[in-house]
Amino acid sequence: MKAKMEKAQSLLLIAVAMLALLGLTAIAIDGGNVYRDRRQAQNAADNAALAAALAITQNQDWQQAASTRASQNGYLNDGVRSVVEVYYPPVEGPYAGNTEYVQVIITSHVSTYFASIVGVSQLTNRVQAVARARPPQALFNGNAVVGLAPTACKAVEFQGNAQMTITGSGLFVNSNCSCNQTAAFFNNSGAGTLHVPYIQSVGCVKYKDGAVDAGNIQTGVQPLPYPPSWLPPIPACDYTWNSLSGSRSLQPGVHCVNGNFTINANDVLTGNGVTIVVYGEVRWNGGTVTLSAPASGPTAGLLLYLPITNNNSITFNGNASWDIRGTILAPASDITINGTQDGFSLHSQIIGYTVKLTGNGNTTIQYNDSDNIDQPSSIELTK
């Protein structure tokens, strides 16, 4: 009798053990399938968000781009196995309503094998991804004149005796120099007037009465990082010069000048679709100059470039016979613009470490985004 009872107890223990083993197997199989699907769905959402962001920067159909990429990863948005939602801007989370971001949400239903025995026929995963989409942007917020020096006083200085006019955009001073330290933007002499739509400065703006005619002057603005967070890469040279001077007609392409770049009064310099990279000093003393940056390609809008490793100065002593179009970018250089005759104009964005605007002749800087370099579009996964 005792043996029969022990046998019955053993069978009961075996049955319980088998049920436990079956439960563990069910958890392992169904749970593993859900976990595997969640990873796959997250990868699909990430890829779909990046595809949508890229489409946004290229003015293409971002919804279709996301749906296509999700489908390629196995999430067909059929309403049965999966639902793919695409929102631009996001509708939830920390980036909700921010038009620089796009959100993809994938809801995936996973059929169960063993859990269906207890009435659970499917399990659900919900994942999301957010990507940032920044279209091409004007360099340094599209300011016509930019002084990048973070602490220098007189980082941008106006000391002219004639009219200096900036049109199409304004003037940005990155320096935090205070009024007790001379000021970031400074004017104290000369009878001229600077006409500009606005001045934005991290530090103090100081000028004589009547010397500045600005629609708006704002101080205490957010500084830009220095060195700048983005600068165009140094392009490969199509033509190389030990130095550049005299009368020349430059062929389209990238011209690299290992020494100084000089123009004198009787020189005639022309070039259409050119980018000039200079590793020495730039000094233009009048002459007849007709230069324009490329309209397309990797150096589009970039006319004159002194890389950040070159801190030699740029000095423009201009006259009425200049037609210059494209960005002048010298992030480590002091730039001086001396107007010497009526009509001197630059169709450019002027970016230097410091910028001094001076001279005895009327000077105009005309900013038009289409003439100048843009920071390229970018995409990144944020969540």
Q: Could you tell me the two tokens for 362?
A: 């009327």
Asked if pLDDT for residue 272 goes beyond 60, the answer is yes
C-alpha closest to that of 235 among 275, 271, 291, 270: 275
Integer CA distances (angstroms), 215 to 34, 130, 203, 265, 363, in order: 61, 39, 18, 36, 19
pLDDT tens-digit profile of 111-148?
876 655 555 567 899 999 999 998 889 999 999 999 99
Report pTM. 0.79
Residues 6+ apart with CB under 8 A from 359: 160, 161, 162, 164, 317, 337, 338, 339, 340, 344
Q: Could you tell me the two tokens for 30?
A: 């169904």
Integer CA distances (angstroms), 50 to 86, 108, 125, 283, 378, in order: 12, 20, 21, 46, 10
pLDDT tens-digit profile of 179-196?
999 999 999 877 889 999
Cis-peptide, bond into residue 331, ω within 30° of zero: no
Mean pLDDT of the region 262-266: 92
Mean pLDDT of the region 89-118: 87
90 φ/ψ angles, rounded to the nearest 5 degrees: -60, 155
Average pLDDT, the chain: 90
Query: For position 94, what pLDDT does the model report?
Result: 94
C-alpha closest to that of 71 among 108, 27, 101: 108
Mean pLDDT of the region 274-297: 96
Query: For position 271, what pLDDT does the model report?
Result: 98
